[in-house]
Amino acid sequence: MILVFDSTPLIYLSKVGLSWIFRELSGEILIPKTVFEEMVTEGKKRGDADAFVVDELVKDKILSVVDAGNEFKRKFEGLSAELHPGEIDVLALASAKGAIAIFDESIAREVGDILGIKTHGTFYLIFSMVKKGKLSRKEAKNKVDEMVKKGWRIGHERYLEFMELLERIEE
């Protein structure tokens, strides 16, 4: 399995001490170069702690930084009014590699779905760790609440749906 990450899941999982999740994922984990530059290169200049955490994951070869390549990006040029360059690169890489795109932004996920690109988000990653027994339901709830307090924007309905799904998991 190949996963291609946008910046938001990287940022907020790192902000709340859940960067270990990336070490638990199986398969190849890619970050487009544009996402790395936006999040890590610029983030380190600002002193963002999450940028240093993600940089360490790259240095440890847990995450790989990849250039999306112009031939694939051209397919998505018409979306530049709706999507950021990093999101376009995530879609381009996921399309080119038959990968899953990991976004939290609903418009990017909707575009991915329309284009036949499988998408997931931060909730999926946390939920999968709870199902594997790596994270308790209580810890998951607390971490999601902490992410929201730190600025993670998630719709109220999606938040409630996630909490309801968590309750269904047997520990």
Domain carrying residue 25? 2-122
CB atoms within 10 A of CB 93: 26
- Asked whether residue 62 is assigned to any structural domain, the reply reads yes
Which comes out higher in pLDDT, residue 155 or 52?
52
- Asked whether residue 15 is assigned to any structural domain, the reply reads yes
- Asked whether residue 153 is assigned to any structural domain, the reply reads no
- Asked whether residue 96 is assigned to any structural domain, the reply reads yes
| pLDDT(150) > 60 | yes
- Asked whether residue 46 is assigned to any structural domain, the reply reads yes
- Asked whether residue 132 is assigned to any structural domain, the reply reads no
Domain tally for the chain?
Answer: 1
Which residue in 87, 61, 63 sits closest to 14, CA to CA?
63
Q: What is the CATH number of the domain that holds 40?
A: 3.40.50.1010
| pLDDT(72) > 60 | no
pLDDT at residue 66 in the model = 93
- Asked whether residue 135 is assigned to any structural domain, the reply reads no
How much is the pTM?
0.88
- Asked whether residue 150 is assigned to any structural domain, the reply reads no
What b/e sequence results for 26-52 when a residue is b if at least 16 CB atoms lie within 10 Å of its CB, and e otherwise? Answer: eeebbbbbbbbebbbeebeeeebebbe
pLDDT at residue 70 in the model = 63
pLDDT in tens, 83-142: 777 888 898 899 889 999 999 888 888 888 888 899 999 999 999 999 999 999 999 999
The strand pair at 64-66 and 100-102 is best described as unpaired
pLDDT category, 30, cuts 50, 70, 90? Answer: very high
Contact 129, 21 (CB under 8 A): yes
